């Protein structure tokens, strides 16, 4: 699917660096967490999926697309990310997307990946929220990127957008970020493992006609 100059520019204008959080502060409802998990030597709070609507759980769905297997497609209207698989299926993840004024659409590639990435708020964000730190170390319980970050580039240029984890599981399924695509931490880890460098990404307003509904989906363990 082609993109108009206006659509591409919308993405460029919304981008202001890493853009990981909507507002200062990192508190999250404790009910969204249950126990802890250790990943690459870092202990983090596990998502309490019993408190999460099933439609946002990672699952396999039927998916019809002309995009190649391995492509990641994001439906921003319905808050789903699809990783296209074989036999007209996809792994579907619930995601949080950009709030009004920070949405973007277009194509990119995953050209960089990071385990427990360090977060550095871009200057524009610190101007809006001067109380933010200059940076937050990877693995810190206050790092909004969580355990993984996948950096989206377009023609070799960093778009400023990422797929990454979240400190706020309750924001999945909502327009909550400054443009980045938020995932449950467990889902960010899963997607990271499945997407090599060079993975094609397409971010769309909506694609509901290409994927089956939640009632027909199969959970992914």
Q: Name the pLDDT band for 9 (thresholds 50, 70, 90).
A: very low
Q: Which residues are catalytic?
A: 164, 180
Provide the H-helix boundaries in the chain.
Answer: 5-14, 123-128, 185-194
The count of domains in the chain is 1
What pLDDT does 132 receive? 84
Sign of the CA dihedral running 145, 82, 17, 113? positive
Q: Name the pLDDT band for 101 (thresholds 50, 70, 90).
A: low
Instruction: Tell me what the mean pLDDT of segment 127-141 comes to.
Output: 87
* Rounded Cα gap, residues 178 and 15, in angstroms: 8
* Chain centre distance of CA 130: 25
Read off the CATH number of the domain in which 200 is found: 2.40.440.10
Q: What is the pLDDT of residues 44-99, one digit of tens each?
A: 999 999 999 999 999 999 999 999 999 999 999 999 999 999 999 999 999 999 77
Is the Cβ–Cβ distance between 105 and 76 less than 8 Å?
yes
Is the Cβ–Cβ distance between 217 and 59 less than 8 Å?
yes
Q: Name the pLDDT band for 15 (thresholds 50, 70, 90).
A: very low
Q: How far is CA 53 from CA 131, 168, 178, in A?
A: 33, 15, 23
Q: 116 lies in which domain range? A: 5-219
- How deeply is 36 buried, as exposed, middle or buried, from its count of CB atoms within 10 A (0-12, 13-18, 19+)? exposed
User: Residue with structure tokens 């802890």?
Assistant: 36
Q: How far is CA 158 from CA 111, 153, 192, in A?
A: 9, 4, 18
Cβ neighbours for 16, distance < 8 A, ≥ 6 positions apart:
122, 124, 125, 160, 178, 179
């Amino acid at each position: 699917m082609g993109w108009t100059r206006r659509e591409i520019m919308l993405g460029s204008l919304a981008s202001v660096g890493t853009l990981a959080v909507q507002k200062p502060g990192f508190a999250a409802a404790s009910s969204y967490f249950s126990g802890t998990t250790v990943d690459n030597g870092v202990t983090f709070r596990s998502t309490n999926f019993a408190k999460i609507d099933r439609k946002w759980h990672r699952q396999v769905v039927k998916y019809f697309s002309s995009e190649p297997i391995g492509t990641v497609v994001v439906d921003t209207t319905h808050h789903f990310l699809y990783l296209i698989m074989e036999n007209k299926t996809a792994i579907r993840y619930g995601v949080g997307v950009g709030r009004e004024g920070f949405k973007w659409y277009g194509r990119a590639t995953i050209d960089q990946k990071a385990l427990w990435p360090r977060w550095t708020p871009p200057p524009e964000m610190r101007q809006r929220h001067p109380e933010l730190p200059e940076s937050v170390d990877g693995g810190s319980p206050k790092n909004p990127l969580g355990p993984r970050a996948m950096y989206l580039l377009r023609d070799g240029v960093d778009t400023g957008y990422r797929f990454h984890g979240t400190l706020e599981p309750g924001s999945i399924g909502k327009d909550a970020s400054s443009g980045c695509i938020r995932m449950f931490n467990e889902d960010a880890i899963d997607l990271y493992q499945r997407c090599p460098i060079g993975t094609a990404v397409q971010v769309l307003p909506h694609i509901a006609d290409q994927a089956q509904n939640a009632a027909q989906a199969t959970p992914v363990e």
